[in-house]
Structure 1
Amino acid sequence: MAETNIVPDSVPVKIDVDSPRFWSKVAVTASDDDCWEWQAATDKRGYGRFSVGTSRNATMLAHRAAFVLSAGFLPEAVCHRCDNPRCCNPDHLFAGTRNDNNKDMTAKGRHWSVVCPEKSVKGEAHGSAKLTEDDVIAIRREYASGHVSQRALAARYGVSQRTVVKIVKRIGWRHVEAHRETA
């Protein structure tokens, strides 16, 4: 049994990863190229869940437990090369950051913003929006004219200069279509 201090799903607990018990729940194949699929409980996204520890009845994602058992440490994020949420093959897992994991999921078309774009609230529909699409078009036009600074636009519209920079560089409010701006 490998005893490790880790943070499963952002909850700090001391857990015991029971190696024989864990691997008994994985369909290990003879080939390292194959996915070794988790055979026990999964969450709604298809990721395996493994019970760890005894005092808090905590669980952690099975692929994270597989990484702990094979690498001896738990990074901020454990990513899948194979893009199979049930896979626990250490050769298919790699350490990363949450940002790395989000980029990897987006590139593979599995990030929630790609899978369910209707849930991605943009622009004035967002509850914290201070601007309208018309404001964004006006900011872009005024800045493009060369007669007003980003700082002045930020003050006029009640937003930060950083917000104005993102608008004029089309980093923010990208969904505001260019054809509306020329109309």
Structure 2
Amino acid sequence: MRGNPKYNCPEERILANIKINSNTGCWEWTGALKGKDRLKQYGHLTIGSRSKGTRKTVSAHRYSYKIYKGNIPDNMDVCHKCDNPKCVNPEHLFIGTRQDNVNDRESKGRNKTPHLTGDNHPSRKLTYEIVKVIRSSKESSTEISKRYGVCSSLIRAIRRGEYWKPPLPGTEGETRNLPECAKCKIRDCQKCIID
């Protein structure tokens, strides 16, 4: 037999793919997970019929909400009260806008991007010290961009204050202990290393 076993009802399909966490009450999805790396936390399943053209993949928590609580309005998210992405317990789910979901994430300190900005970003080409030099330089944006291997529009945006905003007071210099370049006296200079 191909595919999933036949279930008598959608609720049975959900219950066949969960493990109840006795500490939290979360119904943790044990079926397929979708995404990459840390995002590979949300359950998903395929529903519908291939022959009828209704086959599609859906998020397990959205499917659970629809089955147990009702339809999900257009352009609305199904959010987790419990902050467990694998949870499909309908009592732990609520409807909200995308902004509600973002605000919920922010208020609970689950936004992982702030520590990956500026000097802390793993693929950065500039540092705060270089940005200070860029802002005070009389050279053209084109000349500076060639020196640091970035586009001139980024240099202009930095000069306008749109990117590389100053670090919070008391945090500058704490991000990395980088060596100072012997040629230009800028910490972690990428230009002189290349030359």
> Shift in Å at residue 82 of structure 1?
0.8
Q: Distance in 2 between matches of 1:104 and 1:127?
A: 37
Structure 1 or 2, whichever has the larger Rg, is: 2
Q: Which runs of 5 or more structure 1 residues have no equivalent in the other structure?
A: 1-16, 137-171
Q: Distance in 2 between matches of 1:89 and 1:83?
A: 12
2:69 maps to a residue whose letter is A
Greater fraction of residues in helix = 1
Name the structure 1 match of 2:156.
Answer: 131
> Shift in Å at residue 110 of structure 1?
3.2
Name the structure 2 match of 1:27.
Answer: 19
Correspondent of 1:38 among 26, 29, 44: 29
Alignment of 1:1-183 (within 5 A): 18-28=10-20, 34-43=25-34, 44=36, 45=39, 46-54=41-49, 55-75=53-73, 76-111=76-111, 113-114=113-114, 116-117=116-117, 118=121, 129=154, 131-136=156-161, 173=163, 175-176=165-166
Q: Is the 8 A contact 1:113 1:119 kept in 2?
A: no
Q: Is the 8 A contact 1:36 1:88 kept in 2?
A: yes
User: Deviation per CA, 1:1-42, whole angstroms, max 9, x where unpaired?
Assistant: xxxxxxxxxxxxxxxx833222221224689x5111111111
Q: Quote the sequence identity (%).
A: 32
Q: Which runs of 5 or more structure 2 residues have no equivalent in the other structure?
A: 1-8, 125-130, 132-144, 170-195
Q: Distance in 2 between matches of 1:115 and 1:134?
A: 23
> Shift in Å at residue 48 of structure 1?
0.5
Q: Distance in 2 between matches of 1:128 and 1:110?
A: 32
SS state at 1:48 partner: strand
SS state at 1:49 partner: strand
1:94 maps to a residue whose letter is F
Size of the aligned set, in residue pairs, is: 127
Indicate how the Cα distance of structure 1 residues 74 and 178 shifts in structure 2: closer, same or farther if over 3 A, else same: closer
Q: Is the 8 A contact 2:31 2:44 kept in 1?
A: yes
1:135 maps to a residue whose letter is R
